[in-house]
Amino acid sequence: QSVLTQPPSMSAAPGQKVTISCSGSSSNVGRNDVFWYQQFPGKAPQLLIYDDDKRPSGIADRFSGSKSGTSATLAITGLQTGDEADYYCGTWDSSLRGWGVFGTGTRVTVL
Amino acid sequence: HLLESGGGLVQPGGSLRLSCAASGFIFSDYVMTWVRQAPGEALEWVSVISYTGDSTYYAESVKGRFTIFRDNSRDTLFLQMYSLRAEDTATYFCAKKYCSAPGCPFGFDVWGQGTMVTVSS
pLDDT digits (tens, 9 = 90+) for A22-37: 999 999 999 999 999 9
Mean pLDDT for B58-65 is 96
Q: Are B78 and B53 in contact (CB under 8 A)?
A: no
What are B62-99's pLDDT values in tens digits? 999 999 999 999 999 999 999 999 999 999 999 999 99
Instruction: Compute the average pLDDT of residues A65-86.
Output: 97
What's the rounded Cα separation, in Å, for the pair B2 and B87?
Answer: 25
* Position B102 confidence tier, pLDDT thresholds 50, 70, 90: confident
Q: Which residues of B touch A90 (CB under 8 A)?
A: 43, 45, 106-107
pLDDT at residue number B84: 98
Q: What is the pLDDT at residue B104?
A: 85
Q: How many residues does chain B have?
A: 121
Interchain contact A33–B (C-beta under 8 A)? yes
What is the four-CA torsion angle of B109, B112, B113, B116, rounded to 10 degrees? Answer: -130
Residue B33 burial (10 A CB sphere; 0-12, 13-18, 19+): buried
Per CB-CB distance under 8 Å, the chain B contacts of A98 are 57
Instruction: Please identify among residues 91-110 of chain A the ones whose CB lies closer than 8 Å to any CB of chain B.
Output: 91-92, 97-105
Structure confidence at residue A1 (pLDDT): 61
DSSP label of B101: S
Spatial separation of the C-alpha atoms in residues B94 and A60, rounded to whole Å: 25
Indicate the pairing of strand A99-102 with strand A85-93: antiparallel
CB atoms within 10 A of CB B117: 22
pLDDT tens-place string over residues B6-52: 999 999 999 999 999 999 999 999 999 999 999 999 999 999 999 99
